[in-house]
Amino acid sequence: MKHLLIVVMTTLLLVGMVSACAAPSPAPPVKETVVVEQTKVVEKVVTATPAPTKPAAPVQITFQEPWGITSERGVVVKGIIDGFMKANPNITVAIVDSMPEKTKVISSILAGKASNVMMMPEDWVAEFGPQNALLDLSPYVAKWSADKRNDFYEPVYKLGQSTDGKVQSAVPWFAHSMALVYNKGMFKAAGLDPNKPPKTWDELYDYAKKLTTPDGKQYGWGLVGKQGHDQAWMIYNFMWQNGCDLMSPDDKTVALNNPACLEALKFYLKLKDVAPPEATSTGGGELSAQFEGKRVAMWLLGPWVVASTLKNVPDIEVGTAILPTPKAKATTIGSGLLVIPSTEKNPDAAWKLIDYLTDTDPQMQILIPATKFVFRLPVRKSLLNNKWFDENPLYKPFVESMAFGRVPIPTLKWGDIHNNIVQPEFNKAYAGTIKPEDALANIEKLGNQVLK
Residues 326 and 431 in one domain: yes
The yes-or-no verdict on residue 420 having pLDDT over 60 is yes
Same-domain pairing of 311 and 168: no
Does residue 300 sit in the same domain as residue 278?
yes
pLDDT at 423: 98
In contact, 201 and 207? CB cutoff 8 Å: no
- Residues 413, 368, single domain; the answer is no
The shares of helix, strand and coil residues in the chain, as percent rounded to the nearest 5, are: 45, 20, 40
Predicted local distance difference test score (pLDDT) of residue 49 = 52
Q: Would residue 30 count as lying in a domain?
A: no
Residue 28 lies in a domain: no
CA distances from 206 to 102, 185, 191, 238, 292 (A): 44, 17, 12, 17, 22
pLDDT score, position 55:
56
Handedness of CA 159, 251, 224, 283 (dihedral sign): positive
**pLDDT for the residue 373:** 73
Over range 173-199, report the average pLDDT.
98
Q: What is the pLDDT of residue 99?
A: 84
Residues 400 and 365 in one domain: yes
344: Cβ contacts below 8 Å, ≥ 6 apart: 116, 135, 350
Residue 423 lies in a domain: yes
Among 59-63, 137-141, 294-298, 373-377, name the one with the lowest average pLDDT. Answer: 373-377
* pLDDT value, residue 449: 96
Q: Are residues 283 and 386 in the same domain?
A: no
pLDDT of residue 43 exceeding 50, the answer is: no
Check residue 279 and give its pLDDT.
Answer: 96
Instruction: Check if the beta carbon of residue 344 is closer than 8 Å to that of residue 351.
Output: no
Model pLDDT, residue 290:
96
Q: Is 312 or 100 the better-scoring residue by pLDDT? A: 312
Considering only 99-103, 350-354, 364-368, 380-384, which range has the smallest mean pLDDT? Answer: 99-103
pLDDT band at 50 (very low <50, low <70, confident <90, very high): low
pLDDT at 276 over 90: yes
Residue 49 lies in a domain: no
Cα Dmax for the chain: 163
Q: What is the pLDDT of residue 400?
A: 97
What pLDDT shows up at residue 166? 92
* Pure H helices in 115-167: 122-128, 138-141, 146-149, 154-157
Q: Are residues 339 and 274 in the same domain?
A: no
What is the arithmetic mean of pLDDT over 241-262?
A: 95
- Specify the pLDDT at position 106: 86
pLDDT of residue 164: 87
Ramachandran category for residue 116: left, alpha or beta (phi over 0 → left; psi -120 to 50 → alpha): alpha
Comparing 99-113, 167-181, 186-200, the range with the smallest average pLDDT is: 99-113
Whole-model pTM above 0.75? yes
pLDDT of residue 251: 87
pLDDT at 332: 97
* Position 311 in a domain: yes
| Residues 215 and 286 grouped into a single domain | yes
Phi, psi torsion values for 266, nearest 5 degrees: -65, -35
Residue 285 and residue 147 in one domain: no
Percentage above 90 pLDDT, the chain = 77
Examine the domain organization and report whether 151 and 197 are in the same domain.
no
Identify whether residues 366 and 435 lie together within a single domain: no
pLDDT at residue 371 in the model: 63
Query: How many folded domains does the chain comprise?
Result: 2
As a whole number, mean pLDDT of residues 103-132 equals 92
The three-class DSSP label of residue 241 is helix
In this prediction, residues 358-365 reach a mean pLDDT of: 96
| pLDDT computed for residue 110 by the predictor | 86
Q: Mean per-residue pLDDT for 76-85?
A: 95
Mean of per-residue pLDDT scores for the chain: 88
Mean pLDDT of 31-38: 44
State what percent of residues in the chain have pLDDT above 70.
87
Is 34 part of any domain? Answer: no
Strands (E), 262-404: 296-301, 318-321, 331-339
Same structural domain for residues 189 and 222?
A: yes
Whether residue 329 is predicted with pLDDT greater than 70 in this model: the reply is yes
Q: What is the pLDDT of residue 370?
A: 62
Confidence of residue 52 (pLDDT cuts 50, 70, 90): low
Domain that holds residue 432: 179-332+409-451
Domain boundary among 369, 388, 406: 406
| 155: in domain | yes
Is residue 43 a part of any domain in this protein? no
The answer to whether 339 touches 170, Cβ cutoff 8 Å, is yes
Flag whether pLDDT at 17 surpasses 70: no
* 426 alpha carbon, distance to own chain's centre: 31
Q: Give the pLDDT confidence score for residue 53 in this predicted structure.
A: 52
Which CATH number goes with the domain that contains 346? Answer: 3.40.190.10
